[in-house]
Structure 1
Amino acid sequence: MKACLSDFKGVKPSGDRVLVKVDKEEGRTQGGVLLPTVAQNKPTAGAVVALGDVELVQSGDRVVYSKYAGTEVAISGDEHVLLKEDDVIGVLTSGDNIAKLKPLGDRVLIKCAQAEGKTAGGVLLTTESDKPTFGEVVAVGSGKKAEDGKVVAPNVPVGSTVMYSKYSGTEFEEGDDQFIVVRESDILAQLA
C-alpha cells in the first residue's frame, strides 16, 4: 500500500525536531516581473507548526533556517520542512527584518562591514573584491548547552567588532546591509 503525507491528519515531530510551514516562494520581482522557477529564491523561513522535544522555539514562531537543512515534505498541498532544532538559525520577532533576528543557541548575528568600493588612490572598483570577514555584533543567542546541562552564554558582547571565519555562517541581505549568522566557535577574534 502506497501512502503519502496528505493521507494523514497530522505530523508529530519526534526527538529534537520541529515542523515548519515554509513561506510561499516569490514568483515575481519587486517590479512585478514574473520569474522562471530556476531563478526564484527558495524561502528559508516559515512558521513552526509542530514540535518534538525542543526548548528554543515554540509553536507559531517565525523562524529562519539553513537552505541545506531538513527534509522537505508536502502536507495537505503545502510545503513544509522537518528540521532538527539545531538547524534553526533564529526567530524573526519583527516581520522579515533580519536586523531584529533573535539568534538561537550559540549563534551570533553580525552586521557585515561594507567592502571598499575604490582603491587608496581613488580608482573605483568594478568587480567585487573579497568580502570583509568582520563586522559588528547585533545580537547573540542564549548559549550552548554544556554536558552538565547548564547553558554557557556566548562570550561576545553586542556592539563589539569581531572577525569570523571566511566560509562560515549563513548570509542575509536587507537593503544595502549584509548580515551573517555564525556560531560563536566561528568567531576568530574581537577587534579593538
Structure 2
Amino acid sequence: MAATMSRPAALAKASRGRLTVCAATAVPKQFKAVKPVGDRVLVKVAKEEAKSVGGVLLPASVRNKPTAGAVVALGDAKTIKLSDKVIYSKYAGTELELAGEEHILLKEDDVIGVLPSGDKIAQLRPLADRILIKGAKAEDKTAGGVLLATDSAEKPTFGTVVAVGDGKEDEETKALVKPNVTVGATVMYSKYSGTEFEEDGEAYIVVRESDILAQLA
C-alpha cells in the first residue's frame, strides 16, 4: 500500500481551539491479553515507515504512523474477523502499549474497511455505509487555458464508485440498509469528508453515504 493518512505518535486532538495530547496507555506487564467489550476490536498497529521514499532515514518525530493493522481480539463485532487487516479512522480509538507492541482499541464503526492480502486500497472492502471512490483527475488548466502548478490545481470532489459497503443497521427495525449507490456510478461528495489515500499515482477516498451529494450522468 503506497500511502495512507498519517497518525501522530502521541494522538493530538483539537478542542475549542486548544490542542490536547493523548499518549498511549501502557497495559501493566502482568496482563498478557486484552478482551474487547461490546462491539470493540483490538488491532495490532502495522509498523511505521522508518525511511522516506528516497531511502532517507527519518527521525522518529517526523515519521508517518499508519492507520492500519491486524485484528488480534474481538468483542461482539459482526463485520470483522480475527486476523483481518483493517484501515481505521485517523483520530479514532484508544492507543495501548501491550507487551511492548503498539495496539489500538476501536469501536467497530471506527473501522473504515478490510484490506485484501495484497494490501491494495483499490481492493478495499468498505464497511457499513461507507463507499470507496476513485477520484477524478484534477484539472491542470484554468478555463482560460492557463497552465496550473500541481499544488494550485483545484482538487475535484467527484469520482467513480469502486466498492460499496454492505449497509448500516436501522436503529428501529434492525434491518440492514444498503447504500443507495452502485459500483461504476460517478458521484459528487462533500469537500471535507472522508479519508483519503494515494496508490500507484491514483487518488482514492472512502466516504459515508451521507457525504454523497449527487450522482452525475
Partner of 1:188: 213
| 1:128-166 Cα distance to aligned partner (Å, 9 max, x none) | 233111000000000010121110111100000000011
Q: Does 1:62 align with 2:120?
A: no
Alignment RMSD, CA only? 1.3
Deviation at 1:41, TM superposition (A): 1.1
User: Using the alignment, how far apart are the partners of 2:78 and 2:33 within structure 1?
Assistant: 21
Q: Does 1:139 align with 2:163?
A: yes
**Which amino acid counterpart does residue 214 of structure 2 have in structure 1?**
A
Detail structure 1 runs of 4+ shifted over 4 Å in the superposition: none
**Which amino acid counterpart does residue 176 of structure 1 have in structure 2?**
G
Deviation at 1:32, TM superposition (A): 1.5
The more displaced of 121-130 and 60-69 is 121-130
Partner of 2:110: 87
- Sequence identity percentage: 68
Partner of 1:178: 203
**Which amino acid counterpart does residue 29 of structure 1 have in structure 2?**
S
**Which amino acid counterpart does residue 87 of structure 1 have in structure 2?**
D
The more displaced of 172-181 and 30-39 is 30-39
Which secondary structure state, in structure 2, belongs to the residue aligned with residue 130 of structure 1?
coil
The more displaced of 117-126 and 145-154 is 117-126
Structure 2, gaps ≥5 residues long: 1-25
Tell me, yes or no, if the aligned pair for 1:6 and 1:77 is still in contact at 8 Å: no
**Which amino acid counterpart does residue 130 of structure 1 have in structure 2?**
E
Partner of 2:16: none
**Which amino acid counterpart does residue 137 of structure 1 have in structure 2?**
V
Q: What's the TM-score, normalizing by structure 1?
A: 0.95
Structure 1, gaps ≥5 residues long: none
Deviation at 1:65, TM superposition (A): 0.4
Tell me, yes or no, if the aligned pair for 2:32 and 2:98 is still in contact at 8 Å: no
Partner of 2:21: none
User: Using the alignment, how far apart are the partners of 1:4 and 1:90 within structure 2?
Assistant: 27
User: Using the alignment, how far apart are the partners of 1:41 and 1:111 within structure 2?
Assistant: 23
Partner of 1:20: 43
Tell me, yes or no, if the aligned pair for 2:41 and 2:108 is still in contact at 8 Å: yes
Tell me, yes or no, if the aligned pair for 2:27 and 2:96 is still in contact at 8 Å: no
Tell me, yes or no, if the aligned pair for 1:94 and 1:100 is still in contact at 8 Å: no
